[in-house]
Structure formats: structure tokens, C-alpha cells
Structure 1
Amino acid sequence: MVVRYYRELLNHFANRLRNRDGAADLVQEAYVRLLSMQHAGQSVQEPRALLYRTAHNLMIDQHRHAEVRDHEDIDGLAESEQPAAPTHLQPDEAYAFEQRARAMHAVIDALPPRCREAFVLNRFEGLSHQEVAEHMGISRNMVAQHVIRGVLACKACDDALRVQQPISEGQS
């Protein structure tokens, strides 16, 4: 299914966004959400329609977030002035964070080598699908499949950890 609609979606959203790499990220996220639904046991009758609707909604969300960021920057609330994370964690929070990080690292290490390489290059090194494809000598579709597999593995790990160690609403 990934290959079946990927190019169609990519071309459609690349034309709308006028940014092929941005469109690739958008389409990838739509696939991640679709595959997550299927992984959770939800039946998807019309995957193509769901992919288009999801990608369209993500595009709208990106546009809204960009407008909010632009507005905040104009008001003098630049992102760099905002703390990115809490500056101090309680010992139990620090331990839970460390455990999550170790578990995620183990999940990423357990991915097949080419999958892991594509996932790390895209998600941690910030390379676009096209850049990863050129670097690894594979197609963009294969990069998308590898990245989706990595994202789903990390999501499954995170879901399992949340069941084991629920985060209370007072903590963030």
C-alpha cells in the first residue's frame, strides 16, 4: 500500500505546497497515522481517501502553526526566548526519562541496519527523504518505508512504556 499511493500523494501535495521535501514529510506523517490506526486494529475501508484527508489536515495544521509562530515572533516572543524543556527534573522524573531514552535507543538499534540508517538520517540528522535516498543509493519510496517502520517501532515502544509508567497530568 505504501508504494501504491505514495507518488500520487507526493505529487499532489508537492504542487500544493510548492515544496517537495515538505510534501514528502507530510505524506509520510499521513502514512504513519494510517498505519498506526491499522496497527491498533482499526479497519480502514478507504485508505486512499483517508491518506488524502489526513495529509490535507496536516497541511492546514502546518499553515496555522506557521501563522502563530510568525505572529509570536512579531510580538517579540521569539522561540529562542522560550524554554525548550523544564530546567529541573525531580529524581523520579529523571529516572523515567532515562529509562524511556534507553528503551527508544534499544528499539532503534534493533531495526534492520538499512532501516535504522534511513530513520536516523531523516529523524535525527534532519536529512530530507531525497537526501537520504541519494546518500544511501535507494529510492525515496524505500526511504519512506524505512522511516515509517522506525516511527512505528518507536511509537509501539512509547505506548508500551506509557502503559508501564503512566505519566500523571500534573507532570509535563
Structure 2
Amino acid sequence: MPPLPPPLSVSSLPDPPLFDLAAVQAGDEGTFQALFDALYGPLLRYAQSYLDEPAAAEDLVQEAFVRLWDRRASLPADVTLSAYLYKTVRNLALNVRRDRATRERLLEDPAAQEGAATPAAVPQPDAEVEGEDLGGRLTGYLADLPPRQREAIQLSRFEGLTHHEVAVAMGCSPRTVNNHLVAALSTLRRRLSEAGSLVAAVAWWLT
């Protein structure tokens, strides 16, 4: 992993008029798109200063935008959108680095790895039924997505393609792929949450 960069001091910088907090809080997709277009590149470079895997950095920046959109209604009135995004990217990147360091330590120390191992839980009938129900819901929610969003999700999440590979497959730019993924993930999370499957939705995103 690259050396840990110093924190970026952006919290005191005001957002330009382009980043209208009230419009984002109200769910204005045009303003959110403008925010995405303006900050995706800088945020990606910032994420790459923490992570040495381009695909991981792309996913991390995408997750930051998804979190902003999902939590837009509860944002404080004095929040700076750019600072919020940079802080989210930094926190997510630190989590990734921490998890990787833990895995590397376990791999280097067989005794620690053995001590950390826990037996897999035996699935219970109710859990199996719930899992089947969630799978059915997810399949239905995926089918309800706009075709391009559904294609992006399937290629990225189920086929394991990088954003660049998805862009080539779909005949569009990587930025357009990210737009589709942000919108699709936000919709899927909302619908799973409304169905009472928030924990499962988060688990699905992290896998």
C-alpha cells in the first residue's frame, strides 16, 4: 500500500454556487450530477493516494457519492459538500487499509489466523427462508431498474468487471458507468430498506 498521506484540509473551504446544498437536500438530480462531474476526478485521485488498486479507489469514490445521496435529507445546514465527500473518501480508505493490514497480519502469523478463525454458523430454516425471500426481492428490484442501470450493476457486481471494462462493454465512458451505478445502488438500498432488509442490503453491497 502507498504511504499514508496527510489529512486534506478542506472543511473550511466554502462550496461554489454549483454545489447547492439545499438543492441536493431536496433531491435535485441535476445539481447532484454537476457535483459528481466536478468532484469525481479529484476525489478519485485523492482515493488513489491511499490505495494502490484503481478499481478499489473507483468503488470507494462511488460509495462516497452513494452515501451522500442516501443521507442528503439529514445533512446539517452548515455542511460543505466537498468537505463531506473528501472526509467520507478518507474514512472509507482508512477502513480499507486497516482491513488489509489485519488480513496481512493474519496471513503472516498462522497462530493468529487459527485463533481468529471461527466455525461457520449452521444455517437455520428460518434464515434460509429469509435468504431465499431476499434473493427473490433483489431479483425483482434489479428487473425494475432502467436497462442501462441494470446492465451496469450486473457487469460490475455480478460479473466482477472493473469500471473501465464495464464502460467498454456498454459502449460508454467510465464516468457514465459510475452515474448508472450510483443511481442503481441508491435505488436498491432504498427498496431493500423499505422491505425491512437494511442489514442484508448493506451486507450485499460490501461483498
TM-score by length of 2: 0.69
CA shift for structure 1 position 88: 2.2
Count how many residue pairs are aligned between Structure 1 and Structure 2: 158
Are residues 1:43 and 2:75 paired?
yes
2:40 match: secondary structure: helix
CA distance in 1, matches of 2:178, 2:57: 12
More displaced stretch, 107-116 vs 92-101: 92-101
Match of 1:88 among 123, 133, 140: 123
RMSD over aligned Cα, in angstroms? 2.2
- State the one-letter code of the partner of 1:64: R
1:42 maps to amino acid: S
- The Cα shift of 1:136 comes to 1.0
Unaligned runs of 5+ in 2: 1-34, 199-207
Q: Deviations over 1:130-152 (max 9, x none)?
A: 11111111111111111111211
Moved more, 111-120 or 154-163: 154-163
Verify the 8 A CA contact 1:26 1:55 in the aligned structure 2: yes
User: Are the equivalent residues in 1 in contact too, given 2:50–2:93 (CA < 8 A)?
Assistant: no
**Pick aligned residue for 2:134 from 91, 96, 100:** 100
Structure 1 runs, 4 residues or longer, greater than 6 Å off: none
Range with bigger deviation, 52-61 or 21-30: 21-30
2:60 aligns with one of 13, 17, 26:
26
Q: Please tell me the residue identity of whatever aligns with 1:17.
A: L
Bigger RCO (CA 8 Å, 6+ sep): 1
Runs of 5+ in structure 1 lacking a partner?
165-172
The question of 1:111 aligning with 2:145 is answered: yes
C-alpha distance in 1, partners of 2:87/2:70?
Answer: 16
Deviation at 1:16, TM superposition (A): 4.2
Q: Which amino acid aligns with 2:178?
A: A
